[in-house]
């Protein structure tokens, strides 16, 4: 199996995680993955039901968003994904969802404040808001890049739209999307009870460093 075939298989499988965690409805949302050492990425085709996705239906595009391989039209968000890959070479995966709670924050144009240790761990601070942009061109990608450049968060709430997440791999980007919706829901519930208590900046930094560099299983050095 080629590298691209393996990536198609991985990205196809990760779309099931979006459904599993309730981050998408109908055919909305998508996962893409950069092809290592190539100016290519793979992405979900436009308007295809999640239960009809197969590895062969995942299409291959170049970093300008042009279709390179596949029989179906690429996602309507392809230009945005392509822009992110062109301008953020460390990114290996991109995810877009309209998950309910995070999209509600996006509809308000409000960043999610860092009031949970889980947020400090995963996002290193607040989850920021990006600008409004129309779908179809690369304006969304520009907004994602502008907002996340220099920011520790792998997630951005695009105003009046939804969530975009990035990661070193497609799986990491999916995890960020799952975590984004989880904390968006919890912080929303907290605000129904009163004003959530902020976490001090030094404590956020400490939590982020521990989670990113110590937490979990590490290879023997």
Is the pTM higher than 0.95? The answer reads yes
Burial class (CB in 10 A: 0-12, 13-18, 19+), 189: exposed
C-alpha–C-alpha distance, residues 114 and 123, integer Å: 8
- Sheet (strand 30-34) strand order: 67-69, 59-62, 40-43, 30-34, 93-97, 162-167, 155-158, 129-130
Known catalytic residue: 77? no
Give the per-residue pLDDT at 220.
Answer: 46
C-alpha–C-alpha distance, residues 182 and 189, integer Å: 11
Q: What percentage of residues in the chain have a pLDDT greater than 70?
A: 99
* Backbone φ/ψ region at 177: left (φ over 0), alpha (ψ -120 to 50), beta: alpha
Tens-digit pLDDT profile for residues 146-203: 999 999 999 999 999 999 999 999 999 999 999 999 999 999 999 999 999 999 999 9
The answer to whether domain 3-213 has CATH 3.40.225.10 is yes
Annotated catalytic residue, options 5, 56, 203, 215: 215
Known catalytic residue: 121? yes
Annotated catalytic residue, options 77, 121, 138, 182: 121
Give the per-residue pLDDT at 217.
Answer: 87
Q: Which helix (H) or strand (E) holds 49?
A: none
Is the pLDDT at 221 greater than 60? The verdict is no
Domain ranges of the chain: 3-213
């Amino acid at each position: 199996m080629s590298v691209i075939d393996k990536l198609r298989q991985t990205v196809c499988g990760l779309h099931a995680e979006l459904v599993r965690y309730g981050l998408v409805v109908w055919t909305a949302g998508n996962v893409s993955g950069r092809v290592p050492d190539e100016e290519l990425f793979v992405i979900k085709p436009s308007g295809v039901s999640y239960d009809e996705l197969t590895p062969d239906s995942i299409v291959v595009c170049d970093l300008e968003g042009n279709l390179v391989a596949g029989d179906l039209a690429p996602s309507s968000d392809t230009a945005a994904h392509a822009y992110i890959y062109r301008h953020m070479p460390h990114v290996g995966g991109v995810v877009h969802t309209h998950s309910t709670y995070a999209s509600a924050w996006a509809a308000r144009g409000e960043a999610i404040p860092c009031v949970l240790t889980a947020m400090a761990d995963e996002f290193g601070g607040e989850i920021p808001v990006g600008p409004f942009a129309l779908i179809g061109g690369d304006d969304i990608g520009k907004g994602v890049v502008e907002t996340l450049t220099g920011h520790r968060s792998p997630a951005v709430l695009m105003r009046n739209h939804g969530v975009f997440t990035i990661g070193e791999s497609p799986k990491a980007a999916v995890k960020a999307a799952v975590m984004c919706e989880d904390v968006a829901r919890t912080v929303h519930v907290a605000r129904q009870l009163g004003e959530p208590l902020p976490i001090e900046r030094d404590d956020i930094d400490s939590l982020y460093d521990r989670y990113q560099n110590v937490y979990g299983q590490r290879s023997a050095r």
